[in-house]
Amino acid sequence: MKTHSDSNEICCPEFDPIPWDDKTFEWKEKPFIRDKVCTFFYMPLNFSSVMKRFDRKVTYAGAIVPNNLCLSDHTSKWNMDLYLAVDKEIPDAENTTISGKFFSKVYEGPFGDTEKWMKDYETIAKLKGIIIKKQFMWYTTCPKCAKKYGKNYVVIVGQIE
């Protein structure tokens, strides 16, 4: 994980949607670190500073972020919890794990389409007979890298029963 140091630099790896699109999978105590982002009507206010804090902690620990996976849990209009996947425990971080069965679906386009994506995701889950208990959003690249790649992929990851 790298943060922006040069406006022409690509800091996010290119995302391959195929392994995540319309997939069901299971995690058993998958390690993450957790932090909070302040939001205003769901719009993140300090996302960048939280990601930089994550980066410092992960780099200091010599850890890896598998798949560059960072899940967002929009808990209210005013808060979003971020879960950054890691390969080991990180000192001075809120270490946690996530377990369960999940269904993921990839979408591409502007963030303004989120409501449309959520409705589509819920429709697909219903047609498959899947009951969603909790939903996470995975914004696979930062806005600058999405612009450079020409694709803004977002993955909805739902914990299922």
Q: What is the pLDDT of residues 125-153, one digit of tens each?
A: 999 999 999 999 999 998 889 999 999 99
Range scoring the smallest mean pLDDT among 108-112, 127-131, 153-157: 108-112
- Virtual torsion, Cα 24, 113, 65, 60, nearest 10 deg: -150
Q: Is residue 38 situated within a structural domain?
A: yes
Q: Is residue 153 situated within a structural domain?
A: yes
Q: Is residue 50 situated within a structural domain?
A: yes
| Mean pLDDT across the chain | 92
pLDDT (average), residues 12-36: 96
CATH code for position 80: 3.20.80.10
**CB-based contacts of 83, cutoff 8 Å, min separation 6:** 32, 33, 34, 70, 71, 72, 73, 96, 98, 136
Q: Is residue 14 situated within a structural domain?
A: no
- Asked if 74 and 40 count as a contact pair (C-beta separation under 8 A), the reply is no
Q: How many CB atoms lie within 10 A of CB 146?
A: 20
Q: Is residue 2 situated within a structural domain?
A: no
For residues 86 and 42, the model is more confident at: 86
Q: What is the pLDDT of residue 3?
A: 45
Structural domain range at position 49: 19-160
Q: Is residue 142 situated within a structural domain?
A: yes
Residue 125's H or E segment, with its range, is helix 114-128
Q: How many domains does the chain have?
A: 1
Q: Is residue 126 situated within a structural domain?
A: yes
Q: Is residue 6 situated within a structural domain?
A: no
